[in-house]
Amino acid sequence: MTRHTRRIRRAIASLLILMSVALGAWAEVEEAELAAAYLYNFSKFVTWPGDSFAGANAPLVLCVYGRPAPEDALETLNGKPAQGHPVRVERRSRGDALRGCHVVSVSLSEQSYLAPLLSALAGRPILTVSALPGFVASGGMIGFVRLNDRLRFEINTVSAESAGLTISSQLLKLATRVVRE
């Protein structure tokens, strides 16, 4: 094998490595966009108690709790209408008050703090959503899960109902699993 052939092989190997890294990043961005679309649609198929909004034109506040993904697609939801309310995305860090939030999207960075967070939100009309493993079993309301390499979701109706939220039967039909007890 000549020196020239080895260089070409190394260049091709380097290119393949770069392409696989780029494709992995692309898949992450695609999944983030899909998760944002799911969150937006969740907000359209959940009913909050009447006094959850300050007024008829008050925003539906979607709070991102914890460190967001690098390519956070949730920003694209700002201003979109959901049940007659414009969506407003806000960032919240650990320890911040979650008053005023209608939806709390719990970032993967909050795994160690999930139990106290869900305990603090229990019974409050705030839809909790996350991709954390075991989120629904831990008392979260909607958990993202991977099924056959696809992003899907499961729902805990007990947690939602105890918070005064009603989840549309249409959304329940789409869930891979519904926890009712």
Can you tell me the distance from the alpha carbon of 51 to that of 41, in angstroms, rounded to the nearest whole number? 21
Residue 102 has a CB neighbour count (10 Å cut-off) of 24
Averaged pLDDT, groups of 10, the chain, 181 residues long: 48 32 42 90 95 92 83 84 94 90 95 95 96 96 94 96 96 95 78
CA atoms within 13 A on the CB side of 125: 16
Structural domain that includes position 153: 30-179
User: Could you tell me if residue 74 is inside a domain?
Assistant: yes
**Total number of domains constituting the chain:** 1
Looking up residue 168, the CATH number of its domain turns out to be 3.40.50
- pLDDT per position as a tens digit, 23-62: 333 344 477 889 899 999 999 999 999 899 988 889 999 9
Can you tell me the distance from the alpha carbon of 93 to that of 17, in angstroms, rounded to the nearest whole number? 35
pLDDT at 18: 30
User: Could you tell me if residue 8 is inside a domain?
Assistant: no
